[in-house]
């Protein structure tokens, strides 16, 4: 590791995060997938973070960060720049501690995610379409009000909280050979990779990103984070234009591979998860299982797949899983 890189989040930090989250975040189930045994003889297990509080893994990192603040710091209020799920997680943490919260979301945010933040008591501001625009606005509000910005991914406490997902996988499936995780800004991916490797360095960690938002692939090719000119995908939670610096520090040394998935496969997998597993999974959560079913992630042992979230309104879900929509998506992918 280069000398100018801070030490990676370690096992003690993941254990401390797990202790803070005990009785707060749900220990989500690891469900056996209904997958063809001839193709996947060792089995696939689905880590159903779509059943987590606020409908996504984000509550893990947000609560770990917020609970680490002093009561005096929290009293100034919380700010969350977010494409959707992080906003709801910070709003939930703010309600837990009884402090005010403002979330900065994109103008293109899904109605379900904006409504969820409001339902949890947050004030919602809609600003721009990129992560950079949201973070800039949150920083401005923080300077004006003294509120604390809860970073969406580029922070060690956030990474430690998200990594408890990987700790639970290792607890329940100790012989897992491959863990598959989505990558947007990199908070979940870096946390899971670090936690899994801390428990067993031999486990492969494969990251999955949309074809239209290849941040990690570009970073791997370039040797560091790059800012994409644009991103586009149905996986709205993975559309940030740049990886976080601390997330890259972890993924550059811990991720074994990164693969990309098109929108058509994501939509088909959303429908399969609903039909066969009775799980409502948003596009950003279904992308991992889509990669496995497309044969992009070979494994010589059990595969654990992180379904990162399930926040989608009925109209959006129906549109994604309609036969004609899926056919059109396959034709374009």
Share of the chain above pLDDT 70, in %: 96
Share of the chain above pLDDT 90, in %: 82
Catalytic positions: 58, 308
Closest CA to 289 of 32, 46, 48, 49: 46
Q: Residue 284 has what pLDDT?
A: 97
DSSP secondary structure string for all residues of 87-143: HHHHHHHHHHHT--EEEEE-TT--HHHHHHHHHTT-EEEE--SSHHHHHHHHHHHHH
Burial class (CB in 10 A: 0-12, 13-18, 19+), 2: exposed
Closest CA to 134 of 156, 108, 110: 108
Closest CA to 49 of 34, 20, 63, 29: 29
Residues 191, 152, 226, CA angle at the centre, nearest 5°?
80
- Whole-angstrom Cα Rg for the chain: 18
- Average pLDDT taken over every residue of the chain: 93
Q: Residue 332 has what pLDDT?
A: 39
Say yes or no to pLDDT of 330 above 80: no
Say yes or no to pLDDT of 321 above 90: no
Stretch (H or E) spanning 30: strand 30-32
Phi, psi dihedral angles at 325 (to 5 degrees) = -65, -40
- Mean pLDDT over residues 220-226, rounded? 96
Say yes or no to pLDDT of 98 above 60: yes
Within this chain, domains 11-57+155-332 and 58-149 share the same CATH topology: yes
Say yes or no to pLDDT of 251 above 60: yes
**CATH top class, domain 58-149:** alpha beta
Stretch (H or E) spanning 49: none
Q: Tens digits of per-residue pLDDT, 53-79?
A: 999 999 999 999 999 999 999 999 999
Closest CA to 306 of 18, 30, 84: 30
Structural domain spans, the chain: 11-57+155-332, 58-149
Q: Residue 3 has what pLDDT?
A: 57
Q: Which residue has the tokens 């990987």?
A: 166
Q: Tens digits of per-residue pLDDT, 164-176?
A: 999 999 999 999 9
pTM for this structure? 0.92
Q: How far apart are CA 43 and CA 64, in angstroms?
A: 32
Instruction: Identify the architecture of domain 11-57+155-332 in CATH.
Output: 3-Layer(aba) Sandwich (3.40)
């Amino acid at each position: 590791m280069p000398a100018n890189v801070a030490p990676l989040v370690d096992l003690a930090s993941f254990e401390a995060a797990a202790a803070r989250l005990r009785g707060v975040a749900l220990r989500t189930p690891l469900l056996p997938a209904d997958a063809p045994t001839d193709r996947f003889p060792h089995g696939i297990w689905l880590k159903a973070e779509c059943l987590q509080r606020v409908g996504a893994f984000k509550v893990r990192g947000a609560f770990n960060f917020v609970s680490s603040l002093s009561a005096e710091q929290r009293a100034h209020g919380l700010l969350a720049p977010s494409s959707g799920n992080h906003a709801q997680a910070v709003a939930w943490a703010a309600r837990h501690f009884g402090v005010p919260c403002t979330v900065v979301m994109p103008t293109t945010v899904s109605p379900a995610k904006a409504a969820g933040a409001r339902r949890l008591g947050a004030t919602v501001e809609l600003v721009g379409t990129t992560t950079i625009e949201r973070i800039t606005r949150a920083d401005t509000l923080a300077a004006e009000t003294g509120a604390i910005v809860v970073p969406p991914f580029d922070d060690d406490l956030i990474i430690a909280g998200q990594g408890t997902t990987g700790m639970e996988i290792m607890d329940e499936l100790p012989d897992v050979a491959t863990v598959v995780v989505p990558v947007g800004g990199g908070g979940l991916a870096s946390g899971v990779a670090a936690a899994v490797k801390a428990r067993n360095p031999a486990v492969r960690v494969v990251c999955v990103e949309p074809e239209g938002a290849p941040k990690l692939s570009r970073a791997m090719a370039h040797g560091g984070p790059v800012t994409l000119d644009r991103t586009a995908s149905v996986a709205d939670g993975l559309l940030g234009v740049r990886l976080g610096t601390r997330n890259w520090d972890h993924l550059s040394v811990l991720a074994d591979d990164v693969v990309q998935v098109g929108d058509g496969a994501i939509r088909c997998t959303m429908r399969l998860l609903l039909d066969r597993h009775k799980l409502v999974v948003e596009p950003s959560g279904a992308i991992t299982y889509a990669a496995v079913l497309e044969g992009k992630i070979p494994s010589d042992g059990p595969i654990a797949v992180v379904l990162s979230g399930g926040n989608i309104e009925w109209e959006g879900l129906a549109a994604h899983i309609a036969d004609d929509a899926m056919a059109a998506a396959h034709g374009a992918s």
